[in-house]
Amino acid sequence: MAQQPVPQQGDGQQMNSVQQLTPEQEAALNRDVETVARYKLPGNFFARMLPVIQQIKLAHISPPDTPSMTLEETISRTQAMPQLQPILQRNRMSPREFVMNITTFGMTQAVIMHPPQDGKDMPPLNPDNVALLKAHPAEVQALIQAMGGNDQQGQQR
């Protein structure tokens, strides 16, 4: 939904479809990647997130298109979606928690599925999140399917 792209530095061919970032934007992206990598998903992540994603899909709500936005911009854009607020409130989830949870899930799953060749550009993932996702493969697949992807796509959505 609000997945952050994982920067693929060192491979110029990967960047040709992505706009050139200013040094400030690149610094913000790096800070966001570090924040998401460190963020700890709650132990009940799947029990909380799967119903939210299913309700969003049933309501035909499209996530904001935020590939080049910072986390704060994404959270602000999410807060500004009036049709999303009742679903988040019903599920006792703030826009910040929603964005952080779904972004952390997306990035962690993408790195698990496609580890970077050169890990020096990628901060270490929160080991609790890696353990959570690896311990719940059926829930990972259910969430990916609910988000409209499949395991073959990894981070392509």
Mean pLDDT is lowest, of 6-10, 19-23, 103-107, for: 6-10
As a whole number of angstroms, the distance between CA 147 and CA 125 comes to 22
Structure tokens at 151: 């395991």
The domain limits of the chain are: 22-146
Average pLDDT, the chain: 83
Q: pLDDT per residue over 62-85, tens digit each?
A: 877 777 788 999 999 999 999 999
Greatest alpha-carbon pair distance for the chain in Å reads 44
Strand, coil or helix: 44:
coil
- For residue 89, what pLDDT band results from cuts at 50, 70 and 90? very high
Look at residues 106, 119, 92, 113 and name the one whose alpha carbon lies nearest to residue 39: 106
- Helix/strand/coil percentages in the chain, nearest 5: 55, 0, 45
Q: pLDDT per residue over 138-157, tens digit each?
A: 999 999 999 886 544 333 33
How many C-beta atoms surround the C-beta of residue 150 within 10 A?
12
Strand, coil or helix: 147:
coil
The DSSP code for 113 is H
pTM: 0.79
